[in-house]
Amino acid sequence: MMARWRNNPESYGRLARGLHWGVALLFIAAYCAVYYRHWFTVKDTPENWIALQLHLSIGVTIAVFVILRVIWVMQESHPLPPPGKPWEHVAARAMHILLYVIMIYMPLTGYLGTKADTEFFFLFDIPKFPDTALFQWLVTDKFGLSFEEWEAPLDFIHKKSGAYLVWVLVLLHAGAAIYHHVVRRDNTLRRMWSGQ
């Protein structure tokens, strides 16, 4: 049978599934890298730096996946929702939109508020935002802010959301998928996992 790349009314196609699970794995990896750094490394050691660089590289990769995902989702129709009450459909839809918002603002606040270059998986360097012409034009000239003033709110949003909000919402979302699979015994998880 020919591989089905696009969604159909019953389930997700290959591309939507690949992008979804790719991002899900990268989210877990971004968390592992940053909390490995916090909990298991000592400041100013090579391990500490490598863990940070892995977090930055994984975060930038998520941004690339998300750009592709948004382009794809904008011209794809969503499979029909599984059977459920109207409020459940609204809750699932609201959660999916919220997860998109998170997938966009987490890498953005991370990159715009960091004073380290990203050594992308130690292959090549991505210059930090304060070294770019855009920073000079927008932040220094237009807003008249120093990097510290600019960075403080972005850092706050990135770190507080990462520490208290994002993982809670992802767990709720994954929990709902498992609930559908185990309790309701419908194909919600299967249609994202194998497209069946």
In eight-state DSSP terms, residue 129 is G
Name which of 146 and 160 has its Cβ closer to ligand HEM: 160
Name which of 141 and 159 has its Cβ closer to ligand HEM: 159
Q: How far apart are CA 53 and CA 114, in angstroms?
A: 11
Q: How far apart are CA 30 and CA 54, in angstroms?
A: 8
Q: How far apart are CA 136 and CA 123, in angstroms?
A: 27
Name which of 39 and 141 has its Cβ closer to ligand HEM: 39
Name which of 144 and 164 has its Cβ closer to ligand HEM: 164
13 in Cβ contact with 6 (< 8 Å)? yes
Residues that bind ligand HEM (CB under 6 A): 16, 20, 23-24, 27, 30-31, 34, 37-38, 52, 55-56, 59-60, 62, 73, 79, 81, 92, 96, 99-100, 102-103, 106-107, 110-111, 114, 118, 158-159, 162-163, 166, 170, 173-174, 177, 188-189, 191-192
Shortest Cβ distance from residue 141 to ligand HEM (Å)? 23
Question: Which bin fits 122, alpha (ψ -120 to 50), beta or left (φ > 0)?
Answer: left
Shortest Cβ distance from residue 142 to ligand HEM (Å)? 23
Q: How far apart are CA 118 and CA 67, in angstroms?
A: 19
Shortest Cβ distance from residue 99 to ligand HEM (Å)? 4
Name which of 138 and 170 has its Cβ closer to ligand HEM: 170
Q: Which residue type does 180 have?
A: H
Residue 1, SS3? coil
16 in Cβ contact with 100 (< 8 Å)? no
Shortest Cβ distance from residue 4 to ligand HEM (Å)? 15
Shortest Cβ distance from residue 107 to ligand HEM (Å)? 4
